[in-house]
Structure 1
């Protein structure tokens, strides 16, 4: 995602040509209300589609009062989009006819393709070949359909769904229905375009996101994803789109069971959920964990766009809910803003003496007879330079219901004051009201003016978190510092070539030599090939305790084969360890080709971390960082980022670790040099980019110190499919 390697997307998406069509053919149009061909016709006719509608049915003269045609060849004019409602077996031939009719795109509703097994996959390949031959782009197959409400293209015949600025792409048709029903109960939420991508045979999530990014009617792109076909391309597009508008993703398959369900449903590729979430966030995407967060977060980001930071001021009319909000804020990685003395003084001037002026601010009854005072307090908090967003918690809008009807006018004045505040401040104002479900007048007024109001504290906090995350991302990407480009060394390319031919794995000394050549801190070491070469080794290393490890392409797990000896002192101990390693390894792996024994000083005690790289089949090269030892095996406390990295990416990997307090020094341990780890991650990113032959890399452990680090063990595996450079010499 380095701009030098991945140029920005500048061409207009071809999806505009058929997602906002002027002429539509409904192939399989029907008068039967149970058929999709009827539903599509009903949606177009009832919503008043202004373009040409061509029902295709050889047995009918009219469908819903619209003249029908026996086939595409009979149409009086060209079409932009075809909706194919007929069985899977008919699709290849129909696509060729669509091309002749001038169609730019086709929506294939039928299932029975790759998601069903090998036979269906063959048919899906035939469909794609026919579409490419005809010059027709495909939505689906196995799709729920599309709508473009601003263009009155409603091929799902959904009712009571208002046009708006939320664009949706969802691999689940039921999820779209769920969001549509939820939107009916929220007068502010409306949709622009919806697409069910189905099997993504032709058009993938990256194409749809690019379209939504360009669509003037879409203010926020929202996606329900089970699996990506081209994850790396999606990350590139997400980075470009998120720079101009929010992108919200719910990624299904967060458990092994969920991943299996997603695969059987769409035939999609499903990688590690944790890895996918990290990579999406790296590209500026707001990832929601729960399905009921999708619409609230999309709405909040669409209305408010971003916060400049993560410092939140809570204003509450009840201590209990303020505590709940504070807990949720902390869990979301936000912080309670420290209010300035001047802010606290202004609050004291308008609130009762018993009010709590620390954040969260509890008005403690001050608003019972005067709810509009909450708007005044929100203005005071928003004017504090140490506050990035304001969260109102409590029963605003319902005071006249709870206490006295005469308070309604006061609440309406408070709502108008909040609206005026929203107009003059660039800080998000987010409101939770326990009266939101009954939609009292003051809350309806806030909705009309574009202020988000939520009936769940958790939803309100998640929106505040998303705003802060987006603001932080945009700030970081304003001037990104990319990993430095590394020039591959011909000699090390030669080592990779030999490993590719003979064994795939680099020997440990070879791996460390490559890393050291590009600036990584690796320990000094020597490989001995006979016991006589041990003479003088102890003195050469300064009489420090030494470690010995077998070097063999046939013994990858050295400890399991008895190929590691530690804490050795003196030549006699080295000789005994040498003999013991050879004897034990030859017992465990009799045919092993042993290159020699590596001798190196024991690493100083420090904090163990692990750095790994894989070339994921969906997302390409991905870097992993985490605590080493039992932490990585038991807690799985790791972070992932796509390569290449920015420096902010590397820093966020280190700060993401849940047990990161270990880095700061606990129980008398010395704090480690975290910036050295950031440098290490950046260098590994550069090396992986420079050597495409590297399939995977494992640095475990890396010992982190207060003054740097040491790569104690390294493993590099060569990709059999990569282009291997000709051999040269290391000089």
Structure 2
């Protein structure tokens, strides 16, 4: 079961510099103290009482020794090299201390002090001075405003957490209290331990992407786990995660919803970007396991550390109670997991060992068959695990407590069942997850499972979340093979010139220009003409005949045309066109008397179909992001959308379409034909390649796009230019 869970060796060519000071051979405690209430004292206790084997240099000019360790007056007085400095002094002392660290060759500094950019402009200036001093001296900074760090396998415990047990969970957390909660939970759980912990603080220098690379390389870490309030460089984090997740699981709990991407949103996509949902989608895109509740962090990390992955979503449930079997089925369905369809041969084998009243269809309810013989459960687990239709097994009920509930004589049978399950787990690639209502009292059989590395949970919901994470990881690892990222399109010279004109004029692209860009790069866009005067409307009749036409105002000052009365539909004949022209001009003048109106765009009406939206924003944290969802006027109301970071793989585009709650609409309802999913996927990939090719493109909205059984039609195209990026 753990055949894929070997630690990841460090790659010398790409070795993270954090190894040099997160596993230090020497530590200086700047501001070391003999006062038990001070952090400088706690750090000394953690090192001295924790049997740290390296050199410890307490820096304090006022006392000769602390806990029996001689002090030095300053960093310059330290007789040997220093890998790591823990700085416990006030914020104003930091610039000078970082200069001293640089002179001494200190590799990394952990800065506890607050009072930097989180406190206002003056603090931000001080923080920049600290960073400048550190960079000048070649010192990497953890923090400031950090809760500290530990590396338990190297006995570096700067937090003096006596109850933190060494293990294989690496944890990076912007909340010190979250660390304390997880340490207590792990202590109570009795199995999970930690490798490295760091509080990143302000991420002035070292950020989440740096920590993730370190944990990905660390041989003592089997799962990288992060509590994140905010990324500073989300785009770089995604790049690193894309490298790490194929070889090591990564778990993220993201608190809150980021508002950065919603600033002055000028498009539908802009209004939806920057959301918590977007962050979750982008993390999952690169193989990160995202948990939504704090009590899921440790169970999921533990499950992935022990079992790594499942090959799919098909779960076989063995239960000793109908009620819990039903609850389990509900939770599995809500999580997107499936009840495996057990083969006839499997059901026959189960029938041979269970009472006649047992339910043999999944979930399997043993219906009292195990009350006098708990070993029956182990035999059931073995039988369903042997079924090719099963990806993972979930044992649900009161295993471990039969000797408590019924008779003490059943303890032997429970212990034998536990050993049988352990042997099965070692021999099988299919995860076995156990929920027991007796888990809180830790009976012998459950303790034995824990000792052997089999996870046992006291919550059906937590156990299902673990199964979900195992399935998602397994499917991600399967999908990523042979799925290269989409290359950017080759920029077109005429389109570059078009962007340059728009930027020079201080405007976004007109719709006909946006349509030209799309058309140039293979996106199916209907023909259009632009009439600059009422007399030019006759050209539309000559070009399009008696087809019903759409008319839209062309103006750099009117972004949302419908709001200004700048759109008229189903127009046939020159008289209708002239009347619509007059109404559009009147409406737009009333909307904005100073608007620069350059005429109207005319294009044939698209036939009816399913409306979807394709959008792009350049998120300030994650870079260019593509959105796909249900289109029309309801996009911001229903928010049934999927996000992916650009560039995409083909599988990314396919999963965007499959992710929607409205996917049944796309698949065809009430006799309607399914839309052309292949064409939509191709559209998403082409848009991704256009965005990669043109950094001058800031936002894009194709809303609506009408999806058909035989292709699609882009009805409205809006492209906002990036005024700070010049055309090449």
* Shorter-normalised TM range: over 0.9
2:281 equivalent to 1:273? no
- Structure 1 residues 10 and 693 mapped into 2: Cα distance closer, same or farther (>3 Å)? farther
1:498 and 1:33 map into 2 onto residues whose CA distance is: 67
Question: Which of residues 230, 240, 259 in structure 2 aligns to 1:227?
Answer: 230
Question: Which of residues 517, 520, 527 in structure 2 aligns to 1:517?
Answer: 520
**Helix, strand or coil for the counterpart of 1:560?**
helix
Range that drifts further, 561-570 or 193-202: 561-570
Question: Which of residues 537, 543, 551 in structure 1 aligns to 2:540?
Answer: 537
1:437 and 1:234 map into 2 onto residues whose CA distance is: 37
2:463 maps to what in 1? 460
Q: How does 1:694-705 map to 2 (within 5 A)?
A: 694-705=697-708
Q: How does 1:564-713 map to 2 (within 5 A)?
A: 564-713=567-716
**Helix, strand or coil for the counterpart of 2:563?**
coil
1:181 and 1:556 map into 2 onto residues whose CA distance is: 54
2:404 equivalent to 1:409? no
Range that drifts further, 42-51 or 571-580: 571-580
Q: Is the 8 A contact 1:503 1:553 kept in 2?
A: no
Deviations 1:156-183 (A, max 9, x none): 0001211000000000000000000111
**Helix, strand or coil for the counterpart of 2:669?**
coil
Q: Which runs of 5+ in 1 are unaligned?
A: 1-7, 261-269, 726-731
Cα offset for 1:689?
0.4
2:42 equivalent to 1:39? yes
2:146 and 2:488 map into 1 onto residues whose CA distance is: 43
2:488 and 2:632 map into 1 onto residues whose CA distance is: 31
Q: Is the 8 A contact 2:31 2:89 kept in 1?
A: yes
Q: Is the 8 A contact 1:631 1:637 kept in 2?
A: no
2:476 equivalent to 1:473? yes
1:114 and 1:584 map into 2 onto residues whose CA distance is: 48
Q: Is the 8 A contact 1:699 1:711 kept in 2?
A: yes
1:585 and 1:184 map into 2 onto residues whose CA distance is: 67
Q: Which runs of 5+ in 2 are unaligned?
A: 1-10, 264-272
1:236 and 1:306 map into 2 onto residues whose CA distance is: 22
2:510 equivalent to 1:507? yes
Cα offset for 1:356?
0.5
Q: How does 1:59-458 map to 2 (within 5 A)?
A: 59-254=62-257, 271-458=274-461
1:503 and 1:95 map into 2 onto residues whose CA distance is: 45
2:21 equivalent to 1:18? yes
Deviations 1:560-611 (A, max 9, x none): 2222111112222222222332333334333333222211111111111111
- TM-score w.r.t. the length of structure 2 is 0.95
2:725 maps to what in 1? 722
Deviations 1:169-211 (A, max 9, x none): 0000000000001111111100000000000011000000100
1:677 and 1:63 map into 2 onto residues whose CA distance is: 68
Deviations 1:452-503 (A, max 9, x none): 1000000000000000000111111121143243111100111101111113
Q: How does 1:489-508 map to 2 (within 5 A)?
A: 489-508=492-511
Range that drifts further, 362-371 or 92-101: 92-101
Q: Is the 8 A contact 2:488 2:691 kept in 1?
A: no
Q: Is the 8 A contact 1:9 1:237 kept in 2?
A: no
Cα offset for 1:9?
10
Q: How does 1:42-53 map to 2 (within 5 A)?
A: 42-53=45-56
**Helix, strand or coil for the counterpart of 1:701?**
strand
- Structure 1 residues 668 and 721 mapped into 2: Cα distance closer, same or farther (>3 Å)? same
1:206 and 1:187 map into 2 onto residues whose CA distance is: 30
2:377 and 2:457 map into 1 onto residues whose CA distance is: 17
1:100 and 1:385 map into 2 onto residues whose CA distance is: 64
Cα offset for 1:431?
0.4
2:589 and 2:230 map into 1 onto residues whose CA distance is: 46
2:127 and 2:590 map into 1 onto residues whose CA distance is: 53
Q: Is the 8 A contact 2:523 2:683 kept in 1?
A: yes
Range that drifts further, 534-543 or 152-161: 534-543
1:483 maps to what in 2? 486
- TM-score w.r.t. the length of structure 1 is 0.95
Deviations 1:679-711 (A, max 9, x none): 111110000001111011111111111111100
Q: Is the 8 A contact 1:607 1:705 kept in 2?
A: yes
**Helix, strand or coil for the counterpart of 1:639?**
strand
Deviations 1:315-356 (A, max 9, x none): 101111111111111111111111111111111111111110
**Helix, strand or coil for the counterpart of 1:24?**
strand
Deviations 1:522-546 (A, max 9, x none): 1122212233333363363242211
Range that drifts further, 344-353 or 540-549: 540-549
**Helix, strand or coil for the counterpart of 2:61?**
coil
CA RMSD of aligned residues (A): 1.7
2:558 and 2:147 map into 1 onto residues whose CA distance is: 52
2:495 and 2:105 map into 1 onto residues whose CA distance is: 54
2:322 and 2:420 map into 1 onto residues whose CA distance is: 24
1:460 and 1:232 map into 2 onto residues whose CA distance is: 32
2:559 equivalent to 1:552? no
